[in-house]
Structure 1
């Protein structure tokens, strides 16, 4: 199949996938779109929202619709790295045998990832970056495709361990889930308090998703779009010459080169699902806020004056 045909096919697949997920997830269009884009790019996502906004249900529904294995890990203060990666035990023949942990799955839901100490958070780092884990000096490859979709509750900060910048940078998107509108909430209540069960059908296989990831990487990008993305990321760095007055006043740190890479990859996927064969500057702008928002650090002045990260990114766009 030619690449043009493959992109046309992807548009159809994406729309049927959205309507399949829409059987269970009402509203949250942006969250669904960015979650699917991150999967098509082979990236990880951080879902941020107050309790009850269907973060866990969203991840579960997406994994069912994609036909992938799904494991949920509930992060708690006493969770150990071996609870995620697996451990070696002595079998009857007094030989060490490796028992795989929940990380050996296609989609990992890291529920409330900031509730566990840094040692356990770090157990995910190698898996997220290298798609492999090392236990007792032995190297184990993870089955592809592999994604971590983590959730965080923005209200409660007591008893939490904020993710270090290095780990936040591993997430392609930081997706904020908003409260539903009145109409959507009425729909949610109707569908969840009746005895009608919606069945989500698997529309893809692992091979299909790997093929889509390869297709996204093959999409050509013009130099001016790449330069726009790199300039945009450069503008978030307070010490750079391109930084605006707003950035110099309100930011401590800007985004690193991984942001530029992710902007281009996500722009390619955003273009493809909209039937375009090459991304333009508008596609970069469409994905900029969820890619940059967790990679830049505000200072006290921004907090005091009520300036949000989204305001700063919007001013740069």
Structure 2
């Protein structure tokens, strides 16, 4: 339990800051409020975002717009097969003047880190992100170096192009709190996008609307959003149910349950509530758990999908506070 529970004033402040960031991003990204909002909540929850979609729908723009909305630093990693792990984490360099080694920070030392086309980096380089995404630090030559807070990794990948790519290992995928797809915009939104971009509008036009310290405070507030033992039991029951499905060869890990709980706290705070409800859990479960479920080949051939299986679990697990339906 946190030392202090969030107050009504705390969550109202959280919701106002969240809405402020979303509105600022939507000056550039039109018609994708849910996606933008989830990315903001993930940043507040100290999670990381995997955006998996076709080229040209705004994956990189969302990351750059989010970085431009806070008073912090953005670092971009353009992932290629020749990218080295030290390019990501940093390296010790000999300083002849001082007669000692000095640490030169790598690309992950920023508040928002964009790993563009992450599946084009080699497995060795991809693994360089494992420690920092989980622990907020990198270890070089036995010395640990903390990255700044807030810290968010937004990775993008293109699911329709496989030449020169490396599939993300399960350990890497499990580090992402949510997996998002942007999708094509509605007609009216696309008209606005084309009009604005042809008129010269770009992410450079966005100015910060919150300080980086505000994001750190948002994290502290959501940690104080009340999680009852019943809600925690509900979350664990859902994640455990994924491990028993015969269609899956890998279900959701305990890390997934933790991520779902924290994401639900952020969702509740953004709704100006000091407590988590089952609806918060059900709203976030597809984004937090879906990418962590690995189907057996025979299940895929039979037409099963992770979203459908997860829908079945959410429908079968009794919701706290409601009487279970008679079978």
User: Given the two structures, how large is their TM-score scaled by the length of structure 2?
Assistant: 0.90
Selected match of 1:89 from 84, 89, 93: 93
Aligned residue pairs, count? 308
User: Given the two structures, how large is their TM-score scaled by the length of structure 1?
Assistant: 0.92
Question: What is the match of residue 112 of structure 1?
Answer: 117
Residues 28 and 202, structure 2, Cα contact 8 Å, conserved in 1:
no
User: Segments of 4+ in structure 1 off by > 4 A?
Assistant: none
Residues 12 and 272, structure 2, Cα contact 8 Å, conserved in 1:
yes
Question: What is the match of residue 152 of structure 1?
Answer: 157
Question: What is the match of residue 312 of structure 2?
Answer: 315
Question: What is the match of residue 174 of structure 1?
Answer: 179
CA shift for structure 1 position 104: 1.1
Residues 8 and 272, structure 2, Cα contact 8 Å, conserved in 1:
no
Question: What is the match of residue 317 of structure 2?
Answer: none
Question: What is the match of residue 206 of structure 1?
Answer: 212
Question: What is the match of residue 67 of structure 2?
Answer: 63
For residues 170 and 82 of structure 1, what CA distance do their matches in structure 2 show?
20
For residues 309 and 188 of structure 1, what CA distance do their matches in structure 2 show?
32
SS at structure 1 position matched to 2:160:
coil
After TM superposition, the structure 1 = structure 2 runs for residues 200-239 of structure 1, keeping only pairs within 5 Å, are 200-238=206-244
Selected match of 2:17 from 13, 18, 22: 13
**RMSD of aligned Cα (Å):** 1.7
For residues 204 and 23 of structure 1, what CA distance do their matches in structure 2 show?
15
For residues 31 and 280 of structure 1, what CA distance do their matches in structure 2 show?
21
Unaligned runs of 5+ in 1: 239-246
CA shift for structure 1 position 197: 5.4
For residues 81 and 26 of structure 2, what CA distance do their matches in structure 1 show?
34
Residues 1:71 and 1:196: Cα distance change in structure 2 (over 3 Å)? closer
CA shift for structure 1 position 196: 4.7
Residues 1:263 and 1:200: Cα distance change in structure 2 (over 3 Å)? same
CA shift for structure 1 position 30: 2.0
